[in-house]
Amino acid sequence: MLDQAKDLVEAAKAQKNVRAANGSLRTILSCLELIGKLTGELVQPNGPGIRFTQQIQVNNYSCGDDYELATLIGEATKGFSLDEFMRLKRLANGDNSGTAAI
């Protein structure tokens, strides 16, 4: 349809038929608008459609001294458990097998 509308514009220009050219341009605009809406490239802020948003919560801890940092690490690793450190290391390296806490 879009190609036909482009051909009509060219034909109307050649015949100096402004009305036909204008109508063909309107058709092209409507096609492009429809394509934009279908692909999601043209979204109206409050218009209908499906929108996906993702919220991520990041907790930043500020430790005033080494004691506080060591306390937090101890809590996170079940009392500095070597097994827990190794589990977390494997998890950080992308090994998702056995990710359940020990």
| Per-residue model confidence (pLDDT) at position 82 | 92
Convert the pLDDT of each residue in 35-46 to its tens digit: 888 887 777 667
Q: 3-state SS string over the chain?
A: CHHHHHHHHHHHHHCCCHHHHHHHHHHHHHHHHHHHHHHCCCCCCCCCCCCCCCCCCCCCCCCCCHHHHHHHHHHHCCCCCHHHHHHHHHHHCCCCCCCCCC
Which amino acid makes up residue 64? Answer: G
Spell out the domain ranges in the chain: 2-39, 61-102
Convert the pLDDT of each residue in 3-41 to its tens digit.
777 777 788 778 888 888 788 788 888 888 888 888 877
Q: Is 0.75 topped by the overall pTM? A: no
Q: What is the pLDDT of residue 20?
A: 80
Q: Find all residues with CB under 8 Å of 99, minimum gap 6, and list them.
A: 87, 91
pLDDT digits (tens, 9 = 90+) for 53-74: 777 777 776 667 788 888 888 9
- Give the tens place of pLDDT for each residue, 71-98: 888 988 899 999 998 998 898 888 876 5
pLDDT score of 6: 75
pLDDT at 83: 92
